[in-house]
Structure 1
Amino acid sequence: MTYRGLVLIALMFMVIVSSVAQRNGVIWGRITDEDSGDRFPFATVTLKKDGQMLPIGTVSDNEGTFKLSGLQYGTYDVLVSFIGYKTHIVEKVILTKEKPRINLGDVTIALTNVDLEEVKVSAMGNTVSTKIDRKTYRAEDFSTARGGTAVDVLNKLPSVSVSSNGEVSVRGTTDFMVYLNGKPTQMEPSMLLAQIAGANIQNIDVITVPTAKYDAQGKGGIININTKKNGLEGFSISANGKLGASPWANKTDKYDGYHMKDDRYGSGINLMYGINKLALYGAFNYNKKNVNGARTGKASVWDYDLQKYKHMDATGERPEWYEYYSANAGVDYQLSKNTQLSASYFFGDRTEGRSAFYVYHNYYGDESNVDAEKYIYNPNTDNRYGKFHTGNVDFSTKFGQNATLRISLLYEHSDLSRRLDNKNYGYDKYGDVPGEIEQHYSQSDDTPLDAYRFSVDYSKELANGNTIGIGLQPQFFQIDGAFSYDTSEVVNGVELGMFDYETLENAIDLNRGVYAAYIDYSGSIHQLKYMLGLRLEYTDQRMKIANPDYFTLFEREKKARYEVNQLDWFPTVHATYPVGETSQLSLAASRRISRPPIKNMAPFLYRRHLEVYEVGDPDLESEYINNVELGLEKRFGKHKVGITGFYRGVENAIFRVNTTYQKEVVLIRSYTNSGDSRSLGLELNANLQAGNMAKFFIGGSVYDYRVKGDIFGYQADNSSVNWSLKGNANLILTRELKFSADMDVKSSTVTAQGQNDLFYMTNAALDYAPKKMKNWSFSFRLLDILGSNNKGLDTRAFDKDGLEIFYQETEYNRAGPIAEISVSYAFRNGKSQSKTKKTVGDREF
């Protein structure tokens, strides 16, 4: 299905729906804080008619404005709400043919003195809400993730998965852009998500089909993390601390002596001070997590010279560690009633790594007829480091009631590096002890990055009530990368020192400019609300390679310089249409691009284990993605159920491909554009309530997934019916005690060269806010209750003649269950208002 087909489907949908539409009422206004008079963003606006809540609503924008379009003529109550504030109800708003447009003007909301009964009511809000271009999930409903990071919260959301290395996927598709408080960032998801404390997250937007004003980069779409933003006039402070461990899993590797202590701890503090038109804020967060684990695996590699398989069976401990700290500071200043200036700075320091202490049993033949048997002990450690500096300045102004101008400038500098150390020892299987060292390899790279982004966005409401927006968003980044490959000369078990392996060493210089412009138009035709957009992006990219005779898996011309000069256009269509008083139909369609990250392009050869090497491909090209979604949301009293049909097709798809390296008869992997992939299925979201004491959220998906491609001459065509199921329960046991639990089940799924196995996990949490200890709260969490955090991978490859040249079966087992306890304290001294914090980083880590 091409993008022309997507646009045609969208236009047909709009024509059909608009042909049966009858009315076109509009209600709009602006929300302000009663105490401070400031504009109030992110407030929820909903409608009642004849005493029934309608599945129609919106959220106020950064200026506090809102608009509800496509309404039937009649009498409505307008409800404005925000957590911690009294719900303001504007009663008996009447839309008629003679008066179809109503401006409510300024609608004020005031702080409430929250007692325990009111806490119960607010806790029963929907876990997920749907807007024209996104689904928004309330982070507070996922209590088991509160002691972790944004990664842990994301893993609770339906159809979303985050792998152990931080790779985000939705409905089987990876490569998401991550936004923070609506601001784009180049930071790799694993880096940014790991530096946001779960306790600081207000909600998460999952935007699978973004509108034209957002970057077209990212084949999966956009995940926007909204952090808590409640400020005040006066001073506020919040602090938290966490301790956790799985002490029953602590152990020491018997060969290396490495002590694996499965523990985690962290802390954070947030400060804010506001006076008159000025707000100052700052924060510091620290988190460290050690994860004990083990790996078992079998690999069989075809030896073309001997015409038989070489087997490499491995088992051993595999501990992981993650440590980060971050600090940010900022200032917001209200220059006038309609103009605001903001500036912020963010610093992050991130380390993640793993060690592997594997004993390999290498042999030819089979287990009953072993030939050329050899045992090897292979300890290796892989660390990645990142230091991130980001500064940005934002200016926004409003012209009257109808036009808004926003200007933003962002600068990033990141120091990114990687260190891998890999040793091979002989091994005495009878004495169960390592022998003398036989080989020692060390690889490292340093890739500092500088990035700039400038954006100018202008929107204006037209006389007919519709809105047009235009913008320019150029961005540029540069990466200089140097790679070192060292080996140690070993004589009779003695290392004589490390020496450069010059033929494998390299350096790269990547410059990428993306010059973007967009236009969008939103409005309504009777009850049909729509948003049409077109985005143009011109990519100007140059990559220089210092050693053009680099190592590669592909038989093609090697070059010292690779260039991309490409103009692309990306149409988007969004539409919603009410079906009766309790249901809503929606459609979204878009075309997107996924430009490969430098880590998959750099021709740096890494020896990850004894049997696995990895190298990038500088000839990678961009992927193109076509998306279509058709959804229906229906409310049953307090319950709300939504179902979405979706199609995602990826052209020129990049696969991580594996083959054999016959010089050493081992596995080696790289990345290449080798085919296409497709996902077609359904997604479910259900908010269910049981009185005022319990609510349940169920989300899941089922879809047909297919990957087709030419992989080293072999025509792969793999498909599977994939499904996932996630559930979340929140129960108020007493006025001070809340219980929550969740589950996560994902089916097995095919890959380009194999299959990932079934996965499941359960967690639970108790939250306690003692009445006698005002401002304090405590939480106890039990994670991975069943000890099921295991991941199985099967991979196989064939040559162009159909011969199976390798088969690999691997299982990773991570320790569990894990117990965590955390405590938090929050103090406020002043009147509330709303301020926004912004941080950004670099996705290329």
Structure 2
Amino acid sequence: MKLKSILICLIGTLFSMQAQTSVKPTLLNNFGSISGKITDKNTNEPLPYVNVVVKENSKVITGGITSEKGTFQIKNLALKDYIVEIQFMGYKTISKSAKLTVDNSINFNTITLEEDAIQLEGVEIVKEKSTIEQKIDRKIINVGKDLISAGATAGEIMNNIPSVSVDPQTNAISLRGNSNVRILIDGKPTNMDAAQVLQQIPSASIKQIELITNPSAKYNPEGMSGIINIVLNKNSRLGFNGSINNGVTFGITPKVNSSFDVNYRTGKFNFYGNYGFNHGKYSNNGFINSKELNNDNTQIFDMNSKNTSHLAKLGFDFNINDKNTFSFYTNQNISQGKDFGNTKVDYVSSAINDRFQLFDNKSKNHSETYNFDYKLDFKKEGHNLELEVNHNKNNSPENALYTNINGTTNSFTNDVKTLGKNTIVNLDYVNPLSETTKLELGLESRNENTDNNLFLNNAYNSDFTYERTLYSVYATLGKQWKKWNFQAGARLEQYNVEALFRKVSEVDSKFEDDILSIYPSAFITYNPSDNNSFSLNYSRRVDRPSISQVNPIREWSTPTIDSEGNPFLVPQFTNSFELNYTRKTKIGSITSGIFYRRIQDEITRVIFTNPNDSNKQIISYDNFDNNNAYGIEVSGNLDFKKWWSANISFDAYNKKTQGTIEDTPGNYEFVEVDVTTFNARINNTFKATKDLRFQLFGMYRGRDLSLQLDRSPMWKMDIGASYNVLKGSGTISARFSDIFKTMRFAFDGERPYKTNGEFNWESRTVYLGFNYRFGSGKNKAAARKQRDKNETQGGGGLL
């Protein structure tokens, strides 16, 4: 290694000497440069991304920013007299004179900046209003107090996010009208079900939500609709600082939502932690009318739940030196829940006995994630190598007691044990080949396995093991040319899966699959001016069946319906195209876009008659034929007046779905449907005074149609207010959700039976919250290092 380093240094020196001798001395003497290093006066730490402005006679000539090491160098300056200003938020601005003469390049060496106490008082960790940023391949929602007060959990605030919808009954999330979306926490996958994740993360623990609708080849290609990345709070402010959030939501019963964030940064270390707590009781009810063959009935559901969850994040960064950084963090999620209620089946025919079932379901969950990261920075700015190891383990036991009362009382138990593990190793390399060209390479190894066991009445009934392994390599090349930016890449993946289902008195069922696929991507952006930006992109995506979609062990049950997976699902592939235009105006920015998706072997929910019991139905999954979907989106982050701003979005999607389903009991036919769905949202913020804000939120979700169900539209309106106290360190928030109590999940169906139904929940609620920020730390301005950008903006191979 030493010999190799010596050879590289020797060759580099020879080239450098040759380059220097080849330049005419007269050219070198025509220009000078100004350089130096900026540090904090108290800690002596280098300050990155500090503004350095060069002026001549009060006129700005040029400038630059400091590197991550706090250094700067401004070249090609004419030999004149200048004033150099050092500007950084939270610090006092200083000025220095610089007189450049022949053979004179000025080095200020180390310049120390002093805190500006007046400026620091206005620095906040949580913004008043959520903001939306449009990047080349994603939309970033910076979560403000208006969204935090919108609900107690991540699932409740997701419905306020453009392009996102959450099923209020199941917490199933969809992006651009499709539920095949990948959910990440801090840029990393989890074995937890997406619905469970959304229910357990407190809204106050969320820093950002990223919508990556068309990821590049550097990302894992899973998720037809793209990726939703939930970024938990952490910061890199100097010194000791943090925040406390407490909130109570009043529905039928109160629900508590609290979080605590703390950060301490000094010297080479940065320590951070976050803890969130959720506790509450929830009530749901609904009905389904079924026109079954000689078996018409009405099912009435009354469901209640009690959930408690703890979410903690602890981590540190250690800057070994200017070239080496080591980081570690862990996410710990512990929850327990109890679902209880009853289901009543009222048959029209007096010849059939009505059914009444009580259920009492207890569940626990412990999900733990451990992340190790090492980054090596080379001499050239932006040239680095990064190794990351991420391990996730999820243990979810569930115990359910069902009691059937039908003349006689009959009870049975379902005990399910689920253990999942997920290990990912990434090696990523970034090399800026020039100022306008960047090469990115990466390797990834991923292993996921899940063991499920079902015990019926305390006796072994069945088990399901599922393991999949992925090996991938990617490469992307980006090039900037005048007002154009190009990026192209490809990801090659080897995918292997093995599954085994065993059940008492049945032959073992095995499933194996082995697929080698390539996933290309391409991005083009054109910026004709500072106020206009166009982008066109393409990517190939895949939706591999999730554990819940392939697990044949019964997920839940009622007297007439069982929910279970299909182990014979195959992956669906999607070719996705997207065109966006962003226009900056005097009142804000507006982004509009269109997209088209060609879907192969689409995975969709199906309902069919239980082959072992004609009086029951099964809800499962199946692969349908090739389908098309396209749509349009418009969103804006606008300031109409100094006192009135709004986030506005609307979208319309058209999808054509076709496949073979059960038309009538035992009979199957090919069916095709074509539907256009419209959604709209507006979140207004009104500034009454410096400290008092009001919010008015409205949303509409249009009708949706699948091969078997027609979902009715729904809408709601919320009002809220926030008031700053304690000299701006505290904020009191209040919100009244679903004022007119219009939110409900209603549907109609024709196949395999004529059905209609409706479900209701505690949609009308009142939220009261208090947020307090403490500490005297200063904002570091930039992320701790590039790895933080990976979590908030995505990084090569990390997903």
The TM-score with structure 2 as length reference comes to: 0.81
Offset of 1:202 from its aligned partner? Answer: 2.6
Are 2:531 and 1:526 equivalent residues in the alignment?
no
Are 2:560 and 1:575 equivalent residues in the alignment?
no
1:738-817 superposed matches below 5 A: 738-772=693-727, 775-797=729-751, 805-817=752-764
Distance in 2 (CA, whole Å) between partners of 1:81 and 1:382 is 60
Structure 2 vs 1, CA of residues 726 and 268 (structure 1 numbering), >3 Å: closer, same or farther? same
Residue in 2 that maps onto 1:696: 646
Residue in 1 that maps onto 2:312: 327
Distance in 1 (CA, whole Å) between partners of 2:134 and 2:86 is 17
Distance in 2 (CA, whole Å) between partners of 1:60 and 1:207 is 30
Residue in 2 that maps onto 1:314: 299
Distance in 2 (CA, whole Å) between partners of 1:265 and 1:296 is 29
1:827-838 superposed matches below 5 A: 827-833=774-780, 834-835=783-784
SS at match of 1:322: strand
Are 2:177 and 1:177 equivalent residues in the alignment?
no
Offset of 1:563 from its aligned partner? Answer: 0.9
Are 2:413 and 1:442 equivalent residues in the alignment?
yes
Greater relative CO (CA pairs within 8 A, separation 6+): 1
Residue in 1 that maps onto 2:769: 822
Distance in 2 (CA, whole Å) between partners of 1:113 and 1:128 is 30
SS at match of 1:151: helix
Are 2:553 and 1:635 equivalent residues in the alignment?
no
Residue in 1 that maps onto 2:322: 337
Are 2:686 and 1:682 equivalent residues in the alignment?
no
SS at match of 2:204: helix
**C-alpha contact 1:142 1:156 (8 A) present in aligned 2:** no
Structure 2 vs 1, CA of residues 592 and 621 (structure 1 numbering), >3 Å: closer, same or farther? same
SS at match of 1:484: strand
Structure 2 vs 1, CA of residues 146 and 310 (structure 1 numbering), >3 Å: closer, same or farther? closer
Letter in 1 for 2:265: G
Offset of 1:137 from its aligned partner? Answer: 1.4
Residue in 2 that maps onto 1:228: 233
Of residues 515, 530, 536, the one that matches 2:471 is: 515
Residue in 2 that maps onto 1:209: 214
**C-alpha contact 2:148 2:204 (8 A) present in aligned 1:** no
**C-alpha contact 2:139 2:210 (8 A) present in aligned 1:** yes
Letter in 1 for 2:404: N
Letter in 2 for 1:244: T
Letter in 1 for 2:450: I
Distance in 2 (CA, whole Å) between partners of 1:272 and 1:727 is 34
Residue in 2 that maps onto 1:241: 246
Of residues 511, 522, 538, the one that matches 1:589 is: 538
Gaps of 5+ in 2: 1-34, 53-64, 73-84, 96-108, 663-667, 793-799
Offset of 1:787 from its aligned partner? Answer: 1.4
The runs of at least 4 aligned residues of structure 1 exceeding 6 Å deviation read 29-33, 59-66, 79-82, 86-90, 105-112, 114-120, 122-126, 836-840
Residue in 2 that maps onto 1:301: 292
Residue in 1 that maps onto 2:345: 360
SS at match of 1:218: coil
Offset of 1:278 from its aligned partner? Answer: 0.8
Structure 2 vs 1, CA of residues 360 and 639 (structure 1 numbering), >3 Å: closer, same or farther? same
Structure 2 vs 1, CA of residues 404 and 617 (structure 1 numbering), >3 Å: closer, same or farther? same
Residue in 2 that maps onto 1:290: 281
Letter in 2 for 1:167: A
1:218-617 superposed matches below 5 A: 218-246=223-251, 249=252, 262-302=253-293, 309-352=294-337, 354-364=339-349, 371-400=350-379, 401-426=381-406, 437-463=408-434, 465-486=436-457, 500=459, 505-547=461-503, 560-605=509-554, 608-617=557-566
Q: Which moved more, 1:466-475 or 1:151-160?
A: 151-160
Structure 1 residues 378-437: Cα deviation after superposition (integer angstroms, max 9, x where no partner): 2224454321121111011210124111110112221123333322213xxxxxxxxx54
**C-alpha contact 1:167 1:175 (8 A) present in aligned 2:** no
Structure 2 vs 1, CA of residues 771 and 614 (structure 1 numbering), >3 Å: closer, same or farther? closer
SS at match of 2:591: strand
**C-alpha contact 2:46 2:69 (8 A) present in aligned 1:** no
Letter in 1 for 2:398: R
Letter in 1 for 2:178: T
Residue in 2 that maps onto 1:16: none
SS at match of 1:142: helix
Gaps of 5+ in 1: 1-28, 46-58, 67-78, 91-104, 250-261, 303-308, 365-370, 427-435, 487-498, 551-557, 798-804, 841-845
Cα-Cα RMSD? 3.6
**C-alpha contact 2:47 2:66 (8 A) present in aligned 1:** no
Offset of 1:147 from its aligned partner? Answer: 5.0
Letter in 2 for 1:465: T
Structure 2 vs 1, CA of residues 87 and 576 (structure 1 numbering), >3 Å: closer, same or farther? farther
Structure 2 vs 1, CA of residues 125 and 793 (structure 1 numbering), >3 Å: closer, same or farther? closer
Letter in 2 for 1:324: S
1:98-177 superposed matches below 5 A: 127-140=131-144, 142-143=146-147, 145=149, 147-164=151-168, 165-177=170-182
Q: Which moved more, 1:234-243 or 1:399-408?
A: 234-243
Distance in 1 (CA, whole Å) between partners of 2:425 and 2:36 is 28
**C-alpha contact 2:132 2:139 (8 A) present in aligned 1:** yes
Letter in 1 for 2:464: I
Letter in 2 for 1:820: Y
Structure 2 vs 1, CA of residues 383 and 811 (structure 1 numbering), >3 Å: closer, same or farther? farther
Structure 2 vs 1, CA of residues 88 and 739 (structure 1 numbering), >3 Å: closer, same or farther? farther
Distance in 2 (CA, whole Å) between partners of 1:31 and 1:525 is 31
Distance in 1 (CA, whole Å) between partners of 2:193 and 2:720 is 30
Structure 2 vs 1, CA of residues 30 and 126 (structure 1 numbering), >3 Å: closer, same or farther? farther
Letter in 2 for 1:318: M
**C-alpha contact 1:124 1:692 (8 A) present in aligned 2:** no
SS at match of 2:144: helix
> What percent of counterpart residues are identical?
21
**C-alpha contact 2:716 2:742 (8 A) present in aligned 1:** yes
Residue in 2 that maps onto 1:255: none
Structure 1 residues 107-131: Cα deviation after superposition (integer angstroms, max 9, x where no partner): 99997767799789x9798822211
Structure 1 residues 478-513: Cα deviation after superposition (integer angstroms, max 9, x where no partner): 212111233xxxxxxxxxxxx74x7xx211222211
Residue in 2 that maps onto 1:731: 686
Of residues 587, 593, 601, the one that matches 1:652 is: 601
Structure 2 vs 1, CA of residues 38 and 340 (structure 1 numbering), >3 Å: closer, same or farther? farther
**C-alpha contact 2:129 2:685 (8 A) present in aligned 1:** no
Offset of 1:820 from its aligned partner? Answer: 1.6
SS at match of 1:600: helix
Offset of 1:696 from its aligned partner? Answer: 0.9
Structure 1 residues 355-379: Cα deviation after superposition (integer angstroms, max 9, x where no partner): 3423321134xxxxxx525333222
**C-alpha contact 2:297 2:347 (8 A) present in aligned 1:** yes
Residue in 1 that maps onto 2:55: none
**C-alpha contact 1:142 1:153 (8 A) present in aligned 2:** no
**C-alpha contact 2:609 2:616 (8 A) present in aligned 1:** yes
Structure 2 vs 1, CA of residues 526 and 830 (structure 1 numbering), >3 Å: closer, same or farther? closer
Structure 1 residues 273-324: Cα deviation after superposition (integer angstroms, max 9, x where no partner): 222011122222110232222212211223xxxxxx3112022422244321
Letter in 2 for 1:699: S
SS at match of 1:215: coil
**C-alpha contact 1:146 1:199 (8 A) present in aligned 2:** no
Offset of 1:727 from its aligned partner? Answer: 0.5
Offset of 1:184 from its aligned partner? Answer: 4.3
Letter in 2 for 1:331: F
SS at match of 1:675: coil
Structure 2 vs 1, CA of residues 639 and 272 (structure 1 numbering), >3 Å: closer, same or farther? closer
